[in-house]
Amino acid sequence: MKEKNHLQIQDFLPYLLNRAAENTSLDFQKTYKDRYGMLRTEWRVLFHLGRYGDLTAKQICTMADLHKTKVSRAVSALERQRFLERTRVPTDRRNELLSLTKQGQAAFGHLQTEATRYHETLVASFTVEEQAILQKCLKQLANFS
């Protein structure tokens, strides 16, 4: 005679996360799509290179949690648009080191500013403590399982 205490499904975390992710990502996309013709994955690769310096595709896969196919295609697109260049690593010629061009660095600089601004509007109504908890929880969920 036990009533199961079910989660209200509209509170289901993966569902909420998806909605929040899609909503904010589509919104921010306006910032880079029209001006730089980038896709979401490309912007993600770009900002890893801007933030962490030269990396191999494999390193980006690991850090950004992206499949190597996605990274491969994003790198090709960014290269075609002259946002980055590749150089083979002589000591292990399977790797190629990816570096932003001047143009790529300029785009990164601009988008970093815009991202900062956008992030701040997103969290504007949250307290500092709430922001910290949100960050903590999301980072844990991003690495869960």
Contact between 135 and its own copies per CB under 8 A: yes
Both structure tokens of 102: 């001047």
**d(Cα 31, Cα 58) in Å, to the nearest integer?**
27
Using DSSP's 3-state secondary structure scheme, residue 33 falls into: helix
Helical (H) or strand (E) element with 134: helix 128-142
Please say whether the beta carbons of 47 and 31 come within 8 A: no
Which does residue 106 bind out of its own copies, DNA, none, counting CB within 5 to 8 angstroms by kind? none
Residues 73-102 that bind DNA (CB under 7 A): 73, 75-76, 91-96
Closest among 67, 87, 73, 64 to 38, alpha carbons compared: 73
Query: With contacts defined by CB under 8 A, how many residues of the chain interact with its own copies?
Result: 56
Least distance to its own copies from the beta carbon of 122, Å? 5
Which contacts qualify for 117-122: CB closer than 8 Å, 24 or more apart? Answer: 118/27, 118/28, 118/31, 122/24
Contact between 69 and its own copies per CB under 8 A: no
Q: Kindly tell me which of 9 and 94 has the beta carbon lying closer to its own copies.
A: 9
Least distance to its own copies from the beta carbon of 94, Å? 27
Contact between 72 and DNA per CB under 7 A: yes
Which does residue 56 bind out of DNA, its own copies, none, counting CB within 5 to 8 angstroms by kind? DNA
Contact positions vs DNA (CB under 7 A)? 39-41, 56-58, 61, 67-73, 75-76, 91-96
